[in-house]
C-alpha cells in the first residue's frame, strides 16, 4: 500500500514507481500502474528494460519511487536492500529523497473494523550520493545503498528499523536528525 499512498499524496503528475510484475494480473494494480505511468519490473532478474524506463522518467525531470528492498517485509521491518536504487541514482546523477512510512501495516484491519488509521510519512532532505568508482563498483554501490537505508531507518521508530537498526550510520543519523530532515 506504500506506493499507491505515496503516488496519491505527492501533488505531481510526473511521479511514477517501479512495481513488481507479480501484480500484473491484479486488475486494481494493473490499472494503477497504467494510469500513473509506473513501470513493471521483474525482481527475479536484472530487468534492464525496467531500468531504462525508470531512467527515462528521471531524465525527463520526473520522480521515480523505488522500494530499495525489492520486496515487501512480512514483519513490518526494514529488510536488507538491494543495490538497484543506488545504481539508478548513480546512473541518473540525481539527488535521492528518502521516504519513511509506517502505520500502513494495520490499515486494512483498521478499515475493516471502522477504525481510523494513523499512517506516518516522512520525506527527508534531498542528498547526493558519493560517486561510484569502476574499481570498487560493488563496494561503492553497497555503501550508497546503506546510506539510503540508514536515512530511511533513522526516520522510523526503532521497532521498524529491522536490518538497519544497529548500523553505525543509522545511529549517527539518529543522534544528528538535523542532517536528514
Burial classification of residue 60, based on how many CB atoms lie within 10 Å of its CB (0-12 exposed, 13-18 middle, 19 or more buried): exposed
Distance, in Å, from the CA atom of 106 to the CA atom of 104, rounded to the nearest integer, reads 5
Give the helix ranges, DSSP H, for 15-136: 27-36, 48-59, 84-92, 107-112
- pLDDT at residue 54, rounded to an integer: 94
Using DSSP, state whether 120 is helix, strand or coil: strand
Q: From the centroid of its chain, how far is CA 173?
A: 18
Using DSSP, state whether 60 is helix, strand or coil: coil
DSSP 175: H
Decide: 144 and 86 in contact? Cβ < 8 Å: yes
- pLDDT at residue 93, rounded to an integer: 93
- pTM, full prediction: 0.88
pLDDT in tens, the chain (181 residues): 666 677 777 878 888 889 889 888 988 888 888 888 899 999 888 888 999 999 999 999 999 999 898 777 778 899 999 999 999 999 999 999 999 989 888 777 878 888 888 888 899 999 999 999 999 999 999 999 999 999 999 999 999 999 999 999 999 999 987 766 6
Nearest to 16 by CA among 1, 32, 35, 38: 38
Distance, in Å, from the CA atom of 39 to the CA atom of 61, rounded to the nearest integer, reads 16
Phi then psi dihedrals of residue 114, to 5 deg: 55, 40
- pLDDT at residue 108, rounded to an integer: 76
Amino acid at each position: 500500500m506504500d506506493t499507491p499512498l505515496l503516488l496519491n499524496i505527492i501533488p505531481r503528475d510526473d511521479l511514477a514507481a517501479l512495481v513488481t510484475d507479480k501484480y500484473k494480473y491484479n486488475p486494481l494494480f494493473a490499472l494503477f500502474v497504467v494510469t500513473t505511468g509506473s513501470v513493471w519490473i521483474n525482481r527475479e532478474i536484472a530487468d534492464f528494460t525496467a531500468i531504462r524506463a525508470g531512467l527515462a522518467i528521471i531524465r525527463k525531470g520526473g520522480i521515480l519511487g523505488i522500494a530499495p528492498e525489492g520486496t515487501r517485509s512480512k514483519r513490518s521491518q526494514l529488510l536488507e536492500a538491494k543495490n538497484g536504487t543506488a545504481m539508478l541514482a548513480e546512473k541518473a546523477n540525481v539527488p535521492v529523497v528518502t521516504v519513511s512510512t509506517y502505520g500502513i501495516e494495520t490499515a486494512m484491519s483498521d478499515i475493516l473494523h471502522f477504525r481510523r488509521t494513523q499512517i506516518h510519512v516522512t520525506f527527508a532532505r534531498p542528498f547526493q550520493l558519493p560517486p561510484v568508482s569502476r574499481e570498487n563498483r560493488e563496494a561503492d554501490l553497497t555503501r550508497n545503498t546503506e546510506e539510503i537505508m540508514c536515512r530511511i531507518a533513522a526516520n522510523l521508530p526503532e521497532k521498524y528499523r529491522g536490518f538497519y537498526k544497529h548500523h553505525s550510520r543509522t545511529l549517527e543519523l539518529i543522534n544528528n536528525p538535523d542532517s536528514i530532515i
